Structures are given as C-alpha cells and as structure tokens.
Structure 1
Amino acid sequence: MIWQFALRYFRARKSTSAINIIAWVSVGAIAVGTAALIIVLSVFNGFTGLVKSLYSSFYPTLKVVPATGKTLLLTDSQLKAIAATPGVAYLSRSIEEKAVLRNGNEQTIAVLKGVDSGFTKVAGVQDKIVRGKFDLGRDLGYLAVIGLGIESALGVDVEHSQVPVNVYIPRRDASFNPGMPEQSINNGVIYPAGTFAIQQEFDARYVLVDINFMRTLLDMAPGEISALEIEVEPGASDGKVKRRLQELLGEGVKVQTRMEQNVTVYNVMQTEKWVTYVFLSFILVIAAFNMIGSLSMLVIEKQKDITILKAMGGRNSLIQRIFLSEGLIIAGAGSIIGFTLAVTICLLQQHFGLIKLGGGSFLIDAFPVEMHLQDFVLVSLTILVIGVLASWYPASRAARQEITLKAT
C-alpha cells in the first residue's frame, strides 16, 4: 500500500505544475550525476586496465626478490620445489644492474637486465618489438634487445648494422681508485639486435641481455640472481600462489605480486579514481536539494490526504514511509535513466571510439572504457543513501502534521 500511494503521488498531475517540473528536474539531475559517475569511473577502469596490460609486458605475475641486499641464492633443489608448487607455470631467473653504455661518442646510463630462456614465458617483451628481432643469442657475441629511448640515446640502428656497444659496470665489493679507475670497472660488449617499445618508463631505462653475460660481468656465483620471475597457471589465484611460495622460501625473500612491484603507480591511480568519485558525487548532492524542495511542496499539496489517512487511523510512521518511498522513486527513476545513458555511451565508446585522445603519441586513439559491476553497486548505494537523507526531512514533516478536519 505504501508504494501504491507513492507511485500515485509521483504520477498524478499536481495542482501546481511547478511541483511536477521540480520533481522531473530532480530525476534529471540524478540521472546526469549517475551517468557522469559511471562514465568517469569506467574511463579510470579503462586506463587502469591499459596500464596493467603494459606492465604485464615487462613485469611478471609474481616476483621473488631478496628481503635485504641486492641478490639471492637459489639452489637447484629450491628451483625444482618452486616449479612444483601448485599454481606455478613458468620460472625465469634475472640479474639487474645499472651500467654505462657507450657507442662511439654517445653514451647513456641504463639498467641491464640479464634473463634466461624462460623470460618469454613470464613477460611479453617479445610482442613489443618495433625494430629488429628479439634475440639474446651469444654464438658470435652477446646480443641485446634495447628500449626505444636507449636506441635513440645511443644512436644505434638495430636493423641495418650490428654495432658493438661497450658496457661498463662497477665491480662488486671493489673500492674506487681515482688513479686507476679501470681497476674498479668491469666492461663487456653487446650487439643490439632488436628494439622494444612499451612505455617511456621501460623504453628509456632497460636493456635485455643474456643472464650469463651479466653473471660474468658481475662475477656472480652460480645460482646467484637478483630475482626469480614467475608466471602462474591460468585460473590460479596470485595471492594463494604467493602465500605458498612465501611459506616455502621463508623470511629471507619477499614474494611480490604485479601490483606490489608497481605499488606507487596503482596507488596513485586508485587515489585519483576515488577523489574523482567524491567530487562527482556532489552532483547527486545538488540533486538532493531539488528532491527536498519537490517533496516539501508535495507535502503541502497532499495535506488533505495526510489528514484523511490520519483520521482513518494511519500512524505517523505510515505517512513517513509513504513520502520516503516517494523520494526513493524519484532517486530510482533518475538512477535507471542514468545507468541506461551511461551504458549506452560506454558501449558506443568501446565500439566506435567516439571521444578521441588528443595528439598522436598515445598507444591508443580513443579513451579506453571498462564497465565494472562494483561501480554500479557503489553508485547505487550512493544514490540510495542520498535519496533517503534528502527524503527524511519532508517525510518527517509530513508525519508530524496535525489533523485539521473541518466541519462542513
């Protein structure tokens, strides 16, 4: 009965047309706020998904790193135990160190990452090659795959000439001697064979080489590595596999998920998303003021109905619930319209890329969009809370109204 009264009041023609207009303005404001929230949150989801896909090309699903220091030592038996852990699909050992690269008169500082043959199973750099080929062979000398920024800084041409690039790395546990600096530095030669382009963070920083080249250059012991990179099986839980590996290897190492490897980037993106959500929610707050005005005028309009209901034995709680329901109908109608509008716009953007990104240096042409169910739930709860709060005062006022029956 409560919802019947509320629907009747919402649809009925009022004696003053301004009440109808304000009610529909409230519906429209909620619809616009709802659509804006869903669309913006979906765009943030799209950019987050894009960043994750780019990072997955270089960073593994899980990474085992030393808890302290720069290297860890894993025996063959430990590697076999890790490979046999449920959920683990592939392993790849890596050694990283900063180095100075020199090609003729050009030089730059880069991070040399030595990887083994399993690297292509845990990362996707081989799919991001823009020139040359992914080859770290060592038949005629150690080959390398370099980032696009490194290629530009060194002025090398990986497609038309194999120019040797000199590598200089400080010796481990060696003090620097100004008189004979060469005694404090190990050097080697690599031949760039391919160039990858993922994003500037990787392109201007990393050079991939064979792990044996790095082990020789750094005088590292067999089995000594900087990190162990792991790809999990499809459908396996990253968190569960992480916990199993942490229990297996103990406190001497840290097992990091892809998010933990890039925690700053993900935290910034999540913070931006929630700040945007808070600011856009003010659109719904403004719509709530329209609801308060609309319901207050409706209470005045329906004074006679309220009096009759009370005279027939209706309690104050009944009257209050009727007008609370009226407010929820206004909020619900606006949210349904807003959701429909947002889904339509997001689908059009996904299929046709209506809104383009400015400039021509982006990896994609149009704004990426991903709709997540949790965003719809969050916005629905936000509208519910705002709708109840906005309806509470007019509904309470209607419930407190005194019976004023007049004799005729």
Structure 2
Amino acid sequence: MYLKFAWRYFKAKKSTNAINIISWVTVGVIAFSTMCQVLVLSVFNGFEGLVQSLYSNFYSDLKVLPARGKTITLTPEQINSIRKMNGVKGTSLIAEEKALLQNGEQQTVVLLKGVDPNYSQVSGVPKNMFRGVFDPGTIDKPKLVLGSGIENAIGVESDKNLLPVTVFLPKKTAESNSNPLAALSEGNATTSGSFAIQQDFDNKYVITNIGFVKQQMNYAPDEYSAFEISLIDPAQTTTFTESLQKILGAKYKVLTKYEQNASLYRSMRLEKWVIYAVLTLILIIAAFNMIGALTMLVLEKRKDISVLQSLGADKYLIKKIFLTEGLLLAVTGAATGIVLALIICYLQVKFKIIKLVGTSFLIDYFPVKLVITDFILVTLTALIIAFGTSWFPAKKASEQLFNLKA
C-alpha cells in the first residue's frame, strides 16, 4: 500500500510548482552523478585492462625470486620437478642485472635480461618485435634485443647495426680496490632487433642470452636471478603459487603477475576510487535537494496524512510512504544516468568519439570496459544516500500530529 501512495505522490502534479522543480532537479543531479560514476569507472576499467594486456606481454604468470639477496640457486633436479608440475605451460631461467651500453660516444644504463631458449614460452616479447628478429644469440656470439627507446638512446638501428655494442656489467666476485673499472666486466655484442610494448619496458630493458650474462658476472652454474613460469590456466595462479611455495621453501618467494606490478595496480585503483569518492559528493549534494523536496511534500500532504491516520495508518506506514518517495527519486535518477552512460559507452566503443590528447599513446581514444559490479555499486550508492536523506523528513512526517481541519 505504501508503494502505491508513494508512486501517486511521485507522478502527481504538486500544487506548489517549486516542489516539482526541486524534485526534478534532484532527479537530474542524481542522473548526472550516476552517469559520471559509471563512465569514470568504465574508463578506468578500460585503461586497467589495456595496461594489464601490455604488461602481460612482458611479465610471466609467476616469477620465482630470492627471499633475500639478488640470486637464487636451482639445481637441474629442482628445475625439472617444477617443469613437470601439473598446470605448467613453460619455464625460463633468467639472469638480470643493470648494465651500461656504449656505442661510440653514446651510452645509457639499462636492465640487461639474460634468457634461455624457452623464453618465448613465458613472455610475449618475441611477438612484439618492432624491428629485426628476436635472437638473443649464444654465449660465444651474444646478440642484443633492444627496447625501442634504447635504440634512440645509443643511436643504432638494431637490424642494420654492423658494429658491436660494448656491454659493461658488475662482476659478482670482484674484489674492492682502488680501480673501480676492475669491478666491471666488458663484453661486445651485436644487435639483432628491437621490441615495442610499453615505454616502461622499451626505455629500460635489453634482452640477451643467459650464458653471456652469467659468464660476465661470474655466476655459478646453478645460480640465477629468477625463474619465470607460465601456466596453462592463469585462473589457477593462486592455487599453483601456494603449491610451488611449499615445494621451494622459505628461501624463495613466488610472485604472481599482479604482485610483480603491485605498486602500479595499487596506484591505478587508488586513483579510480578517489575519483569515485569525489563524484559521490555530487550525490550527497543532491541529497540536500531531496530533503527540501520531501519536506515541502510533507507540508503539502498534511491533509492526506491526517486522513490516513484517521483510517488507522500508524507512524510506521507514513514513514515508509515518504521513504519510498525518496527512493523513487533516486531510482529514477540512477536509472536515467545508467542508461545515458550505456549509450555513451556504446558510442565510444563503436565510433571512438572521445579522443586522447597527445600522440605518445598506443591508442588515440579513451578505452571503456563495462563491469556489472560497477553498475551495482553505483546503484547501491544512490539508494543508500537517498535512504539516509529521506529518513529525516519521513521521520518528522510520522511524528507530527495532523488535524483534518488544518
């Protein structure tokens, strides 16, 4: 019954035009706020999905690192046992260290990543070549696969460079003395190609074969920087990580793809929810309009409330009528905002009407990704705020005594 009364009050024309204006302003503000919330969350989802796809091309599903220090020791027996575990798609041994690349007068500091022949099983770098081919060479004839940004830093075209590039690496067993150059190893390598994935990688990483890096750094035969693993079913990452951690023990730590980039994902999510909180303030501002609209409606419907009381309506029923009235305003506004957001998202996906400013992006438009939980969250936010703000005028309406002669 209370829903029927609330619906009639909602759609009926009020005697005071200000009530109509305030009510529709409230609906409009709620619609605008919910539309903005859905759009912002969808754009952040789009960027997050884009970043994850880019980072997935470089990072493996799992990465085994030392719990302390810079290197791990893995025997051939341990490596084989991991490779035989259920769910393992591929593995690759890694030796990684900061290095100085020098080409004539030009030089730059990079992260030199030595990989074994199985690297293509755990990473998408070989599929994202910008120039040349993915060929890390051998221990005797090392080759370098450069990030596209590093090509510019040292002034080479990786697929045409005939002269070798000098690589300086720190020696692991170097003794301290007055000559700092004695702590560095020097080697020459040619370039075979360059990759282009994302600036964080393109400007930082150079890939070569693991034998060359281990030789230059005086690594032991069973000593590595990391062990990367790809899984047949990435959805089983958590379960597999726990099993692998038990096998390896406390001297090793196993990081998922998310944990390898935890700071990035945390910052993206923090930005997303900060913007969401700011937009929620618009809803709270709209709530003040709702209080005014409902308070004026209560004053207008005093005779109706008195009639209901005379017919036996209790305070609880009257309170529910005006609470429902506030929720109807919120539902109308939220539904309108969500529909508008869906239309805009569809147009953006279909026609890419809103462009990104600048030319340094991989895409030239704002990506959007609709997630059902965002719609539920936005709707619940609007309803909770509406319920909270409707409570005060509804409570006042139920507590006041009305007279039919008023």
Q: TM-score range by the shorter chain?
A: over 0.9
How far is 1:128 from its partner? 2.1
Cα deviations by residue, 1:258-315 (Å, 9 ceiling, x for unpaired): 1211111111111111111111101111111111111111111111110011111110
Q: Is the 8 A contact 2:9 2:325 kept in 1?
A: yes
- Cα 1:44–1:118 change in 2 (3 A) is same
Cα deviations by residue, 1:197-216 (Å, 9 ceiling, x for unpaired): 22222112111001111121
Partner residue in 1 for 2:290: 291
Partner residue in 2 for 1:171: 171
Distance 1:161 1:114 in 2: 21
Counterpart secondary structure, 2:272: helix
How far is 1:44 from its partner? 1.0
- Give 1:32's aligned amino acid: F
Q: Is the 8 A contact 2:139 2:209 kept in 1?
A: no
Distance 1:91 1:112 in 2: 19
Counterpart secondary structure, 2:176: coil
Partner residue in 1 for 2:245: 246
Partner residue in 1 for 2:5: 5
Partner residue in 1 for 2:332: 333
TM-score by length of 1: 0.96
Q: Is the 8 A contact 2:144 2:207 kept in 1?
A: yes
RMSD over equivalenced CA pairs, Å: 1.6
Partner residue in 2 for 1:270: 269
Could you list the runs of 5+ residues in structure 1 that have no partner in the other structure? none
How far is 1:173 from its partner? 2.4
Q: Is the 8 A contact 2:142 2:209 kept in 1?
A: yes
Counterpart secondary structure, 1:188: strand
How far is 1:112 from its partner? 0.7
Q: Does 1:132 align with 2:151?
A: no
Cα deviations by residue, 1:229-263 (Å, 9 ceiling, x for unpaired): 11111353211111111111111101111121111
How far is 1:176 from its partner? 3.5
Distance 1:338 1:45 in 2: 18
TM-score by length of 2: 0.96
Q: Is the 8 A contact 1:85 1:244 kept in 2?
A: no
Distance 2:182 2:283 in 1: 69
Distance 2:3 2:313 in 1: 15
Q: Is the 8 A contact 1:94 1:114 kept in 2?
A: yes
Counterpart secondary structure, 2:322: helix
Partner residue in 1 for 2:123: 123
How far is 1:125 from its partner? 1.1
Partner residue in 1 for 2:357: 358
Counterpart secondary structure, 2:193: strand
How far is 1:378 from its partner? 1.4
Distance 2:93 2:234 in 1: 23
Task: Give the fraction of aligned pairs with identical amino acids, expressed as a percent.
Answer: 49
Cα deviations by residue, 1:131-150 (Å, 9 ceiling, x for unpaired): 11111233982111001221
Could you list the runs of 5+ residues in structure 2 that have no partner in the other structure? none
How far is 1:390 from its partner? 1.2
Q: Does 1:206 align with 2:214?
A: no
Counterpart secondary structure, 2:162: coil
Single out whichever of 218-227 and 330-339 deviates more from structure 2: 218-227
Counterpart secondary structure, 1:237: helix
Distance 1:36 1:293 in 2: 24
Distance 2:194 2:88 in 1: 30
Counterpart secondary structure, 2:369: coil
Q: Is the 8 A contact 2:110 2:206 kept in 1?
A: yes
Counterpart secondary structure, 2:235: coil
Distance 1:335 1:33 in 2: 8
Partner residue in 1 for 2:61: 61
- Give 1:386's aligned amino acid: I
- Give 1:127's aligned amino acid: K
Partner residue in 2 for 1:75: 75
Partner residue in 2 for 1:302: 301
Partner residue in 2 for 1:18: 18
Q: Does 1:386 align with 2:385?
A: yes
Q: Is the 8 A contact 1:169 1:217 kept in 2?
A: yes
- Give 2:295's aligned amino acid: S
Partner residue in 2 for 1:346: 345
Partner residue in 1 for 2:148: 148
Cα deviations by residue, 1:360-388 (Å, 9 ceiling, x for unpaired): 11110101111112211211121111010
Distance 2:234 2:187 in 1: 42
Cα deviations by residue, 1:86-142 (Å, 9 ceiling, x for unpaired): 332211111101111111121111111001122112111122211111112339821
Distance 2:405 2:147 in 1: 88
Distance 1:57 1:312 in 2: 71
Counterpart secondary structure, 2:68: coil
Q: Does 1:259 align with 2:236?
A: no
Single out whichever of 306-315 and 119-128 deviates more from structure 2: 119-128
* Equivalent residues, number: 406
